[in-house]
Structure 1
Amino acid sequence: MQPNPAKCNVMHVHFMRNEPNYVPLTIGDNVLEEKSVVKLLGVLLQKNMKWDYQVNEMISKSSRRLFMLYILKRYGAPRDDLVFTYITYIRPLLEYASPLWHSAITKQQCTQLEFVKKRAFKIIIGYNNYTGYQDTLEILNITSLQDRRLGVLAKFGSSLVTSGRFTSWIPENIKPERTLRSFNKYCVPRCRTNRYGNSTLPSAIRILNK
């Protein structure tokens, strides 16, 4: 296979304070363009492995679709239809590829994602009838985004365990001969940095051990 230089880029991942000087990569006589953010399968990856661009992109796309709720609400659409519109067209944008980034985003980013949901709730319920986020969750029988992402991450971990192909990614601990008060079924990898500890696999394993 011969890569097309016009469609290839370079992103150097590093966590040092001072970025080192890299040797330019080439395909033939073409020097590949270096980028700090690359979109891969709809996910924005940064060279520092943070999720600022991805979270901002999800917030921007989902916020634009809130206009759908405004229009439906204006023309008297019933509440069930508004909830269905939110679940079908807006919430998926706030959860795209969540097992990859859920455990690594900051509290502020988590709050920003939930804020989009609060705006949708105010449209669905009506600004005058909105009494609070938790109350609206119960009224509409909807789970918070954070709880949903935890469930999706747990489901992702379970799928790896039962896949056969990726079972070795989540190895089981050897069961002791005697019963212990605390025993983790799956082996949690040793994480020397918080960045790795908050990544997908260690976080999924911790959820499965609960």
Structure 2
Amino acid sequence: MTFTRSKKTCIIYEYSLDNNELARVHCKKDLGILFQENLKFDQHIDIITKSASRNLGLILRHSKFFFDYDTIVTLYTALVRSKLEYACVIWAPTSDFLIKKIEKVQADFSRVLFLKFNGFYPKYPCAISYNILREQMCIESLLARRNKFKLIFVHNIINNNLTCPELLEKINIKIPNLSLRNRRQIDRSNSDQEYFKIPRQIKIIYAQSPLMSALSLYNKYSLELDLDSNLNVFKNKCTILSE
């Protein structure tokens, strides 16, 4: 298996073991994540959304006579949402199509849950948007939760809760460039808000990598978050910001 975004520049070499040629594959599952040769995760997302939808159908069929809200939500979070969030820091999508594809599973659950406790389906004839349903039932969007996990990922690396020197050495903290001669005032409205230094001239695939996307997301909320704070305090703050 050769990882590349361009088939034109891909160097194909056939490997053999004991004079037996090794089969070339285009995707490979490792620790529950399906890696593709083009460094995308659309096949992985397709698999987990289908699996989560099957589990959701199973829950809805067997909970037909359940009328305890917490019980149904617990079943959903344990058997459905867990599939959609496993190792999501690695494969979190950036395209609107894939984001909506994942969110659709929770949207279907929200509508059925609303029907069970309110007596009518919120799509017809009285249409209620997914965002309003979430707010009513106190359910976070899956996109917001993925962003929260990214921020927690950064906190864990910086505070050595996650031991990975290879990632830590790629993190650069931005130091404001003060001119003592001019004593100019720092502009806190734009780039000086950034806590981490992200290279400007980088390829899209690197900018969308798990580490760089997490650091860029933290820069967006750097004035509201504190990496020195306790992990539980940090998690609560991330939840508030992601809403």
Match for residue 24 of structure 2 among 7, 31, 34: 34
Aligned-partner Cα distance in 2 for 1:197–1:20: 21
Q: Is 1:207 matched up with 2:217? A: yes
What is aligned with 2:48? 58
Q: Secondary structure of the equivalent of 2:174?
A: coil
Q: Percent identity?
A: 23
- Count of residues in Structure 1 that have an aligned counterpart in Structure 2: 199
TM-score by length of 1: 0.85
* Aligned position for 2:87: 97
- Matched residue, 2:152: 155
Letter paired with 1:172: I
Taking only aligned residues, the RMSD between alpha carbons, in angstroms, comes to 2.1
| Residue identity in the other structure for 2:219 | N
CA offset at residue 203 of structure 1? 1.0
Unaligned runs of 5+ in 1: 1-10
Q: Which residue of 2 aligns with 1:5?
A: none
Paired with 2:145 and 2:201, the residues of 1 have a C-alpha distance of 25
* 1:197 maps onto 2:207 in alignment: yes
Secondary structure at 1:110 match in 2: helix
Instruction: Kindly state the Cα deviation for residue 73 of structure 1 after the two structures are TM-superposed.
Output: 3.5
Report if the CA contact (8 A) 1:69-1:120 is conserved.
no
Distance in 1, Cα, partners of 2:71 & 2:131:
21
Q: Deviations over 1:121-171 (max 9, x none)?
A: 122221724222112111211110001100101111121112264432212
Residue in structure 2 matched with residue 187 of structure 1 by the alignment: 197
Q: Which residue of structure 1 lines up, in the alignment, with residue 99 of structure 2?
A: 110
Deviations 1:94-127 (A, max 9, x none): 112111121x442101111111111111222217
Q: Could you tell me the TM-score, scaled by structure 2's length? A: 0.74
How has the CA–CA distance of structure 1 residues 81 and 28 changed in structure 2, closer, same or farther, with 3 Å as cutoff? same
How many angstroms does 1:88 deviate by?
A: 1.4
Which structure 1 residue ranges, 4+ long, deviate > 4 Å from structure 2? none
